[in-house]
Amino acid sequence: MDCRHIQFCVQDGTFSGHENCPRKIDLHQLQNLFQAAAFWAQERRLQDWKIALANSKPVVTVWDGERLIGFARATSDGIYRATIWDVVIHPDYQGAGLGRKLVETVLMHPHVNRVERVYLMTSHQQKFYERIGFEVNSTTTMVLFNQPVSQDGLPIAAEVTP
Ligand SMILES: CC(C)(COP(=O)(O)OP(=O)(O)OC[C@H]1O[C@@H](n2cnc3c(N)ncnc32)[C@H](O)[C@@H]1OP(=O)(O)O)[C@@H](O)C(=O)NCCC(=O)NCCS
């Protein structure tokens, strides 16, 4: 697959692999991308995506023209710890090196590239991340399944971990 026309965009504008990066994330396209490729994020609502995007840095998107075909985001304290979340390349574009470039774009971002440790969680893609330099780290992982509530106090369905 010829991917020379594929654009990588960094939402906060502090770093971009391409100078012209006018893409604004369309939440409907984002939802469709995750419904096509991310088993852990099938039930996500648009208003919750908005919150996740606002609290993530960097947010990296991948575009074939107007079509959103890839996404990844990180949260970071800028120096000690960062975590990469929601790495996805649309099935039509997998296997062409875009996933690697996507993760590397996150890792190069100034909010991530100085931190001591970069974490991520994955159920099935260890081999992919190992190709990029990540190591299996089974000793430090714990999780609290918080009971999320909406603004009106009603429970929101919990998600599956990727
Ligand atoms: C995981 C994912 C992002 C990889 O994206 P991709 O564009 O297909 O990956 P790339 O083509 O950049 O692959 C990079 C390298 O990893 C290898 N690789 C990719 N997926 C792999 C897999 N499942 N098993 C083993 N190796 C894999 C590639 O062969 C390539 O190796 P190379 O460096 O020797 O050429 C993509 O398959 C995807 O979106 N999957 C569904 C969502 C998902 O599972 N995301 C991860 C959640 S933690």
* pLDDT in 10s for each residue of the chain, 162 residues: 888 899 999 986 443 444 445 678 999 999 999 999 999 999 999 999 999 999 999 999 999 999 999 999 999 999 999 999 999 999 999 999 999 999 999 999 999 999 999 999 999 999 999 999 999 998 888 888 888 776 676 666 656 667
Looking at the structure of the chain, the number of domains it has is 1
Q: Does residue 105 lie within any of the structural domains?
A: yes
In a domain, 31, yes or no: yes
In a domain, 112, yes or no: yes
Question: How far apart, in whole angstroms, are the C-alpha atoms of residue 119 and residue 74?
Answer: 10
Model-level pTM? 0.89
Identify whether 81 is part of a domain: yes
Q: Which pLDDT value is given to residue 141? A: 84
- For residue 101, give every residue at least 6 positions away whose Cβ sits within 8 Å of its Cβ, in sequence order, or none: 8, 17
Which residue, by CA, sits nearest to atom 25 of ligand 1? 127
Alpha-helical segments (H) within 15-141: 27-37, 46-54, 98-108, 126-132
Q: What is the pLDDT at residue 14? A: 42
Q: Number of helices (H) and strands (E), helices first, in the chain?
A: 4, 5
How far away, in angstroms, is 125 Cα from ligand 1 center?
7
* Residue whose pair of structure tokens reads 């026309």 in the numeric block: 5
CA–CA separation, 101 and 35 (whole Å): 22
Residue 145: inside a domain = no
Distance from Cα 146 to the centre of ligand 1, integer Å: 30
Q: From ligand 1's centre to the CA of 128, what distance in Å?
A: 5
Q: Which domain holds residue 24?
A: 7-120
For ligand 1, the distance from its centroid to the CA atom of residue 155, given in whole angstroms, is: 34
Signed CA dihedral, 57, 72, 27, 41: sign only: negative
Residue 38 lies in a domain: yes
Candidates 102, 63, 97, 66; CA nearest to 86 is 102
In a domain, 58, yes or no: yes
CATH number, domain with residue 116? 3.40.630.30
Q: Which atom of ligand 1 is nearest to the CA of 127?
A: 25
* Minimal-distance CA residue to ligand 1 atom 22: 128
Q: Which residues line ligand 1 (CB under 6 A)?
A: 37-38, 87-89, 94-100, 122, 125, 127-128, 131, 162
Residue 154 lies in a domain: no
Residues 4/7/10/13 CA torsion (nearest 10 deg) = 100
Structure tokens at 120: 């991520």
Q: Can you read off the two tokens belonging to residue 146?
A: 């918080």
Ligand 1 atom closest to residue 123's alpha carbon, by position in its atom list:
48
